Amino acid sequence: MKVKTLKSKQGNLVSGPLILSPHVFEDDRGWFFESWNQIHFNEAVGEVVEFSQDNHSQSTQGILRGLHYQLSPQPQAKLVRSSFGEIFDVAVDLRRSSPTFGQWISARLSSENKFQLWIPEGFAHGFLTLSSVAEVQYKVRGFWNKTCEHVIRWNDPELDIAWPQNELNGSDISLSEKDQVSIEFHAAIKAGYLFA
């Protein structure tokens, strides 16, 4: 497995999120790779991670999910991959003590590149479906808890996330009802909906 760190739009290295690229064994019959190995994953992220649940979603082109996160007492970390199709995946640093607070990283995850994005606690997460259909699978540390859940507006001008809307072949961004009523980043700061 190869491990790559990520930089924000401002060019700063963001500590925490990692791109994990598996070793793929390929021949004329097809391919094989380990999508999960506890030992290799723990070595890559530098800690022992125990996941609580696996999630699997399907979205059509233009569906945008996010920016979601959970605060204490049930924060979540995620290991995200696209097992079918392609997504533009984003994580926003919400750790007040971080030098990259309010900055974001992105990665293209697809069934072709087989990349996985590790997003530790302290980040908001969202993705945009670029292909006609995408299936996203993610392992989660921490159970879903509605009372801990928060959503920041996907197109918040202060965050200025460069979503590749020009790749949607004329499709519009489509949001869930929950994501439509999300708050702006400055409102989350004012309300204290952040990590230490």
Q: Any idea which residues carry the catalytic annotation?
A: 68, 138
Which residues neighbour 172 within 8 Å (Cβ) at sequence distance 6 or greater? Answer: 62
Angle among Cα 13, 24, 63 to the nearest 5 degrees reads 60
